[in-house]
């Protein structure tokens, strides 16, 4: 049995090769992500930066599964590099934009996990953006 473990981030050509190997090895299994060039077309049209090999969200039935967010603006630049509050605000703004792309609202969120790197003050500042 062949082991397939991608090294992330994958470039588009690497992603295609990985998808071909995955399809050949397990033709009955559908990949958990769309292996297409414009996998985030809805989100990029809404103003989020393009992400190669990374899907923002996937709607399955009446549920939306959203990937982790980072504090980037439309151009992909990091916002608030030394400001946890501003970073959290940007992540939440990006999350809200993704929700709108799929006709969901903030009140539809059932679970939210926040990871903060830094000391307790950084954690407190980040949580202030959520509350």
Task: Write b or e for each residue in 92-112: b if 16 or more Cβ atoms lie within 10 A of its Cβ, otherwise e.
Answer: bbbbebbbebbebeeeeeeee
- DSSP E strand boundaries for 5-113: 57-60, 63-66
pLDDT in tens, 84-103: 999 999 999 999 999 999 99
CB 49 within 8 A of CB 74: yes
pLDDT tens digits, 29-69: 555 444 444 578 888 889 998 877 778 998 999 999 998 88
What pTM does this model have?
Answer: 0.69
- CA-CA-CA-CA dihedral for 96, 101, 104, 106, to nearest 10: 0
């Amino acid at each position: 049995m062949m082991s397939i473990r991608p090294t992330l981030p994958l470039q588009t050509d690497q992603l295609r090769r990985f998808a071909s190997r995955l399809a050949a090895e397990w033709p009955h299994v559908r990949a958990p992500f769309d292996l297409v060039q414009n996998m985030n077309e809805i989100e990029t049209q809404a103003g989020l930066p393009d992400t190669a090999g990374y899907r923002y969200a996937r709607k399955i039935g009446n549920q939306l599964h959203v990937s982790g967010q980072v504090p980037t603006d439309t151009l992909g630049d990091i916002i608030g590099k030394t400001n946890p509050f501003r970073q959290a605000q940007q992540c939440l703004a990006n999350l809200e934009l993704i929700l709108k792309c799929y006709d969901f609202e903030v009140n539809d969120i059932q679970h939210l996990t926040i990871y903060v790197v830094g000391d307790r003050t950084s954690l407190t500042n980040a949580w202030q953006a959520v509350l």
